[in-house]
Structure 1
């Protein structure tokens, strides 16, 4: 099985478990892989929505990175289901970004990828993997250089994860 399970249809959601206090690595992709977040203002709106979800007590973010056409988010569920939290993020960010752009229509691809982090897995290792996405994509040369990434812990190139 791959790192992420893609489950776009409701029928496939049967068997997907979301457990309060569990940590999930979540990936959401822009519809048609449009590079919506090349615009820093759009990326900023997505980041504000992630922060608001933490402030509202739905999630506790550990790390995220907003790539040009997708978003990676490492978060602990605090309230509601994983599906609810993802849908709330997508609907709120889509609405606000469409308002900012003066456009309409779906911003996000249906569904999402997720991986429940097992207790023995290193959260810092997952955070480092997420924050290294811009390096692998050629958008940065070192951790911390890409402006649309954040981690609860300081991670640098010498951190073993």
Structure 2
């Protein structure tokens, strides 16, 4: 059997279906902390919003960390691969333009996890958005600007 790259191994056995909840994760190339600049992270978050507006997926929760993102979605149409290719491609284009950089922004591939029906969705969303706390980036979640969840009750919109 031929040796497969890590990105190809991620695709083995991938099955996606509409109206199923998925946790998606993508890393920047070489885990470069590109999104320490909040404005660049907001450009990624804008792609999550656009995917929802276009009916590809409903965003349930997300966080953009300095070198990766987690995105909890309800897939509506298309495949996970199509959604992630679109999201990563468009975000790379706008981030590169805004930062005056060239080349790849994202590592090839992505990680996905389908949630089972008995998984606690709110608990998973809390896990996603608590990433900055666990990473020691902030002491309070409200101090981190690059996250949102449909259950969030904050006075300011983190993606604006």
TM-score of the superposed pair, with normalisation by structure 2: 0.88
Cα 1:60–1:115, aligned 2, differ >3 Å: closer, same or farther? Answer: same
Question: What corresponds to 2:75 in structure 1?
Answer: 77
* Equivalent-residue separation in structure 1 for 2:136 and 2:10 (angstroms): 34
Q: Which runs of 5+ in 2 are unaligned?
A: 155-160
Equivalent position to 1:111, from 98, 104, 109: 109
- The runs of at least 4 consecutive aligned structure 1 residues that moved more than 4 Å come to none
- Alpha-carbon distance between aligned partners in 2 of 1:99 and 1:121, rounded to the nearest angstrom: 39
Partner of 2:86: 88
Q: Deviations over 1:58-83 (max 9, x none)?
A: 01000000000000100011110011
SS of alignment partner, residue 142 of structure 2? coil
Q: TM-score normalized by structure 1?
A: 0.88
CA distance, structure 2, for counterparts of residue 123 and residue 155 of structure 1: 17
How do residues 146-157 of structure 1 correspond to structure 2 at under 5 angstroms? 146-154=144-152
> How many Å separate the matches in 1 of 2:80 and 2:10?
14
Task: Structure 1: state its 5+ residue gaps.
Answer: 1-5, 157-161
| CA apart distance, 1:113 | 1.0
The size of the alignment, in residue pairs, is: 150
- Equivalent runs, 1:1-150 vs 2, <5 Å: 8-9=7-8, 13-150=11-148
Q: Deviations over 1:132-158 (max 9, x none)?
A: 1000000122333311010100379xx
Q: Equivalents in 2 of 1:82, 1:135: separation in Å?
A: 28
* TM-aligned CA deviation for residue 15 of structure 1: 2.1
CA RMSD of aligned residues (A): 1.8
Shift, 1:14, TM fit: 4.1
Distance 1:155 1:147, change over 3 A: same
SS at match of 2:7: coil
